[in-house]
Amino acid sequence: MPTETAWAKINLALHVRKRRADGYHEIESLFAFARDGDDLAFAPADDLTLAIDGPFAAGLDAGRGNLVIRAAEALRETFGIAAGARLTLTKNLPVAAGIGGGSADAAAAIRLLARQWQIDLGDPRVGAIAAALGADVPACLVSRTLRGEGRGDALDLIDGSALAGMALLLVNPRIGLGTGPVFAGWDLVDRGPLEHGDPLAAALAGRNDLEAPAVALVPAIGDLVASLGALEDVVLARMSGSGATCFALFGHDAARAAAAAAIRARWPDHWCLETALK
């Protein structure tokens, strides 16, 4: 059965520069992606359907409002596809967690169905579909190290070879956090641009401007970032996206394993994933 991974998105840095008249915000972000994520499977069918399983499937709507179905319907309509698909989404990642979620799932649907329906991913109509589905979908469609500006969908591919394989720990307090309330809590202060050049150096010099409003809503995020930052051999610890998932990068796998053990001992109820950057 053909499958596609919806790789977890990590904002190594996220600078919010201003609020736009259309309700979005001007941002500058460094996107990287983990080697793990949700899984999407395809089977041929006359109709277009979606089933959702996995550890974070509870409460998710598999109907027409789901971004996976919306992505599939947009592809069918735009490219005149008569065939359907029976899609199964295995939800391995927490929902409303700042690591891609529905955006990554929609992007995976586009990649998977484009292969099955012989659609060129380079066709500008595919990019337009991704952008219409949400600000993070274009980045998740590429799922490589990127610099994003504008809404986050004006993308430049950057050399992420030095990041590839870097040990990554993801931790979530199992508290869903909507993007809207976090952005609404941003204090409107422009704290300056994101550096260009080496992505790790830029990330280390950068910040996540959504961390403070997220902590105001979920104080546990502040404790988590501080604890990750205090771990041995940590390179960078920060909240991803609008939260509540936090991440830590390490120079080697053994440090990540020791960190994961310490986090699990302190917060046994937290979701914790040992992975690496792709």
pLDDT at 23: 84
pLDDT at 153: 87
pLDDT at 1: 87
- Annotated active-site residue 278? The verdict is no
pLDDT at 136: 94
Instruction: Report how far residue 109's alpha carbon sits from residue 99's, in angstroms, rounded to the nearest whole number.
Output: 17
| Residue where a domain terminates, one of 107, 137, 157 | 157
Q: Is residue 196 included in any domain, yes or no?
A: yes
Mean pLDDT of 17-36: 95
Write out the residue range of the structural domain in which residue 197 sits.
167-276
Pairing status of strand 146-149 against strand 25-45: antiparallel
Q: Are residues 151 and 173 in the same domain?
A: no
- The residue annotated as part of the active site, out of 36, 136, 153, 209, is 136
Q: Are residues 143 and 171 in the same domain?
A: no
Residues 6 or more apart whose Cβ sits within 8 Å of residue 68: 40, 50, 87, 89, 102, 105, 106, 108, 109
Asked if pLDDT for residue 22 goes beyond 90, the answer is no
Span between the terminal Cα atoms of the chain, in Å: 23
Q: Are residues 41 and 178 in the same domain?
A: no
Q: Are residues 33 and 141 in the same domain?
A: yes
**Number of helical (H) and strand (E) elements in the chain, helices listed first:** 9, 10
- Taking alpha carbons only, the member of 235, 238, 256, 255 closest to residue 247 is 238
Q: Is residue 249 included in any domain, yes or no?
A: yes
- Annotated active-site residue 136? The verdict is yes
- The residue annotated as part of the active site, out of 9, 38, 39, 209, is 9
**Residue 188 structure tokens:** 């409107």
CATH code, domain with 235: 3.30.70.890
Q: Are residues 145 and 259 in the same domain?
A: no
Q: Are residues 145 and 194 in the same domain?
A: no
pLDDT at 55: 97
* pTM score of the predicted model: 0.96
Instruction: Report how far residue 58's alpha carbon sits from residue 54's, in angstroms, rounded to the nearest whole number.
Output: 8
Q: Are residues 9 and 64 in the same domain?
A: yes
Q: Are residues 37 and 98 in the same domain?
A: yes
pLDDT at 227: 97
CATH code, domain with 136: 3.30.230.10
Q: Are residues 20 and 147 in the same domain?
A: yes
Q: Are residues 112 and 233 in the same domain?
A: no
Q: Three-state SS across 163-181?
A: CCCCEEEEEECCCCCCHHH
pLDDT at 161: 94
**DSSP codes joined into one string, 102-113:** HHHHHHHHHHHH
Q: Is residue 17 included in any domain, yes or no?
A: yes
pLDDT at 149: 96
- The 10s digit of each residue's pLDDT in 141-163 is 999 999 999 989 899 999 999 99
Q: Is residue 162 included in any domain, yes or no?
A: no
Asked if pLDDT for residue 71 goes beyond 90, the answer is yes
| Residue where a domain terminates, one of 157, 185, 202 | 157
SS3 128: helix
Q: What values do phi and psi take at 102, rounded to 5?
A: -60, -30
Cα→Cα distances 64→67, 81, 206, Å: 8, 18, 39
- The 10s digit of each residue's pLDDT in 153-201 is 899 999 999 999 999 999 999 998 999 999 999 999 999 999 999 999 9
| Residue where a domain terminates, one of 126, 157, 188 | 157
Residues 222/237, Cβ–Cβ less than 8 Å: no
Neighbours of 229 (CB within 10 A): 13
Q: Evaluate the omega torsion of the peptide bond into residue 244 and state whether it is cis, within 30 degrees of 0.
A: yes
Q: Are residues 209 and 239 in the same domain?
A: yes
- The 10s digit of each residue's pLDDT in 214-270 is 999 999 999 999 999 999 999 999 999 999 999 999 999 999 999 999 999 999 999
Q: Are residues 146 and 173 in the same domain?
A: no
Looking at the chain, how many residues does it have? 278
**Taking all residues of the chain, what is their mean pLDDT, rounded to a whole number?**
97
Q: What is the domain count for the chain?
A: 2
**Residue 199 structure tokens:** 């992505």
Q: pLDDT class for 10, splitting at 50, 70, 90?
A: very high
Mean pLDDT of 109-118: 98
- Taking alpha carbons only, the member of 221, 251, 222, 254 closest to residue 236 is 251
